[in-house]
Chains A and B, each alone.
Chain A
Amino acid sequence: MKLSVPKKAILYFLYFSPLLIVFFSIFIGRLYIPAGTVLRIIISKIFSLTPEKSWPRAYEVIIFEIRLPRIIAAVLGGIALSVSGASLQAVFRNPLVDTYILGVSAGSAFGAALAISLLLLDSFLVQIFAFIFGIIAFGTTYLVAKTQGDVQVISLILAGIIVSSLFSACLSIIKFIVEPNHVADIVYWLLGRFSTISWKEVLQIFPPILIGSLILFGMRWRLNALSMKDEEAKTLGINVEKERLLVLGAATLVSASLISVCGIIGWIGLIIPHTIRMLFKTADNRKIIPLSAATGASILLLADNIARSLLPYEIPVGILTTLCGAPFFLYLLRKRSKGVWH
């Protein structure tokens, strides 16, 4: 693929943007810390300097214990959502699918609500429940779709819808029967936010997101062949069922891990790969996967920065991504150039 000069500039900018935004994000927060002080704190930390500290100890805690883990979680989240979205869109041959199509989001939401309603209010238990039920939902979808050893795309989509609505119904039951103050907890969990992130959560989601994303990144060329019809992919020598299960499993792993700590953040997995496809007029997953990862990380981090600093109180970032994502998607649909997908 030959790119024009401005497109090339955009490409390099997108790859570089996460670093840039991560750097600026450290300066942004509820509590105002002068930029110079932030810089001095970071430099003294990196080089383990112990000059006479002219700043309160709280500043260090805010930067290294509150802002930094949150920034890293947003970066990981952006990568997880956009890489899993792009991969699923390839194997489902459908630009409108996301992990919700496999029932993962609905399963995780139910899991979290169940934990909260059972008064397992420790955040770690809520996360474990959300993660396990996300995986259970995907497993159910896959088994339901599997008929006579054969898994077809259309059955997967239908099974996903059925499993999702089952878990949503169970979620409604929980909302209906629990005490009102827990309903608020559940709703808050569902909205999707990074405000509860500490290093503990970051360390918890880092390994699964890294492993899942590396699998999908490693398969980026294979995804091109997997986006052909099943029969065609088979005649190209691919064990379609096995490799598709690996893609679905990896995508489920990364998204369930993310959802388990920060709730449901919509639209990133849909918008980012789609924008990349349209911007670079390509369907080659060797480009789409890494570019989506970089762009997703930047956009989600940017969104989280806005969520935590725009208003005097914090807006859940999930609301923000949906609020911006849906109209933007509408705009893309109206404007899309012919042929990128149809």
Chain B
Amino acid sequence: MALVIDNLSFSYDIEFELREIKIQVEKGGVVSLLGPNGSGKTTLLKCICTLLKPKKGCIFIDKKSIFEIGQRERAKIIGYVPQNHNPLFALSALDFVLLGRTPYTSMFSLPSEEDYSKAEEMLKLVNLYHMRDRSYTQISGGERQLLLIARALTQEPEVLILDEPTAHLDLKNQLKVMTIINKIVKERKICAIMSQHDPNLALRFSNFIVILAKGQIIGAGKPEVVINEANIAKAYGINARIINNNHCKIVYPISVYPVEVTD
């Protein structure tokens, strides 16, 4: 197992944000976290990045606890893709991706030839090499997301963590980003775990789905199994229909339940 989340609980104060989360991800695995706003998806991802410290439980990457290794070493095995953001200063696309080499350079050194070639390789991987001199603020949202992914990959991580990689993207860019993530994970034999709002994208582009609600896992497993009408109703409080279309499932939301469902 590449990534093991073992009995993880997290709380800011008394109330638990996450309760006894258990997830295992293999090499080449793409995991989607589904769940309504405030269900703990981002909190869980931040725990994996060690930006938040869990109250109980542990996270292992290749059998090593990620809380027992230094920050710099950790950045070589975990690549984090934050939600699309707008930095104030506009680095060029290449300089931006080059930041992924930070864990490999010391405080007073400059990136080497090797660092440049790694960054260029990743730019080619996300098909943005032709934009390397373009300013970060002058490119589209989809391309920015790809640049953030390229930067994380330049860290040469074993685990890629993505916080809503398709948020604010149009249909074409959603497809593009998800296809590239899947391709890279398979090719580089790493694993990815991401939060996702669109169950249809999760169905199509992941091989494991975890549904969170109020900080607890209410369903986990193969996409075709986990995505069912009961689970969608339980997680989101909506009435949805699952349509089977040529061996491909589609989630079709119908209406909001008048009252919150409890079971």
| Closest CB in chain B relative to A71 CB, distance in Å | 30
- A-B residue pair count with CB separations less than 8 angstroms: 97
| Residues of A in contact with B (beta carbons under 8 Å apart) | 1-2, 90, 93-95, 218-222, 224-225, 227-229, 231-232, 234-239, 243, 246, 277, 281-284, 286, 339-342
Q: Are A229 and B82 in contact (CB under 8 A)?
A: yes
Task: Known contacts A221-B109, A222-B107; decide if A235 and B78 are in contact (CB<8 Å).
Answer: yes
Other A-B contacts than A229-B82, A340-B135, 11 sampled, CB-CB below 8 A, are A1-B95, A222-B107, A231-B51, A235-B80, A236-B100, A236-B103, A237-B74, A237-B102, A237-B103, A281-B135, A342-B137
Q: Are A95 and B88 in contact (CB under 8 A)?
A: yes
0/1 interface trace, chain B 57-77, chain A, CB 8 Å (1 if under): 000000000000001111110
A232 to B110, CA, bound (A): 19
Name 12 interchain pairs, CB-CB below 8 A, sorted by A: A1-B133, A90-B89, A93-B89, A219-B107, A219-B108, A221-B110, A224-B91, A235-B78, A236-B75, A281-B135, A283-B95, A340-B135
Looking at the complex, which one of A93, A231, A237 makes contact with B72 (CB distance below 8 Å)? A237
Task: Known contacts A237-B71, A237-B72; decide if A221 and B88 are in contact (CB<8 Å).
Answer: no
| Closest CB in chain B relative to A253 CB, distance in Å | 17
* Interface SS of chain A: loop
Task: Known contacts A222-B108, A231-B82; decide if A236 and B90 are in contact (CB<8 Å).
Answer: no
Task: Known contacts A227-B87, A284-B92; decide if A238 and B108 are in contact (CB<8 Å).
Answer: no
Q: Are B135 and A339 in contact (CB under 8 A)?
A: yes
Q: Are B91 and A2 in contact (CB under 8 A)?
A: no
Q: Are A224 and B99 in contact (CB under 8 A)?
A: yes
Which chain A residues lie closer than 8 Å to B155 at the CB level? 236-237
Which chain A residues lie closer than 8 Å to B92 at the CB level? 1, 282, 284
Interface size on B, residues (CB 8 A): 36
A219 to B107, CA, bound (A): 6
Which chain B residues lie closer than 8 Å to A225 at the CB level? 99, 102
A231 to B47, CA, bound (A): 12
Q: Which residue of B lies closest to A226 (CB)?
A: B102
Which chain A residues lie closer than 8 Å to B100 at the CB level? 236
| Closest CB in chain A relative to B90 CB, distance in Å | 5
| Closest CB in chain B relative to A157 CB, distance in Å | 14
Check if B34 is an interface residue, CB within 8 A of chain A: no
| Closest CB in chain B relative to A339 CB, distance in Å | 4
| Closest CB in chain B relative to A252 CB, distance in Å | 18
Which chain A residues lie closer than 8 Å to B110 at the CB level? 220-221, 286
Looking at the complex, which one of B73, B75, B107 makes contact with A235 (CB distance below 8 Å)? B75
Which chain A residues lie closer than 8 Å to B76 at the CB level? 237
| Closest CB in chain A relative to B10 CB, distance in Å | 16
| Closest CB in chain A relative to B31 CB, distance in Å | 18
A275 to B61, CA, bound (A): 46
Q: Are A236 and B88 in contact (CB under 8 A)?
A: no
Which chain A residues lie closer than 8 Å to B89 at the CB level? 90, 93, 95, 227, 277, 283, 341
A235 to B99, CA, bound (A): 11
| Closest CB in chain A relative to B148 CB, distance in Å | 9
Q: Are A238 and B71 in contact (CB under 8 A)?
A: yes
Q: Which residue of B lies closest to A238 (CB)?
A: B102
Q: Are A283 and B103 in contact (CB under 8 A)?
A: no
Interface hits, B83-105 → A, CB 8 Å: 85, 87-92, 95, 99-100, 102-103, 105
Q: Are B133 and A341 in contact (CB under 8 A)?
A: no
Which chain B residues lie closer than 8 Å to A238 at the CB level? 71-72, 102
Most buried by B among A246, A277, A284: A284
Q: Are A94 and B88 in contact (CB under 8 A)?
A: yes
Q: Are B71 and A284 in contact (CB under 8 A)?
A: no
Check if B49 is an interface residue, CB within 8 A of chain A: yes
0/1 interface trace, chain B 115-137, chain A, CB 8 Å (1 if under): 00000000000000000010101
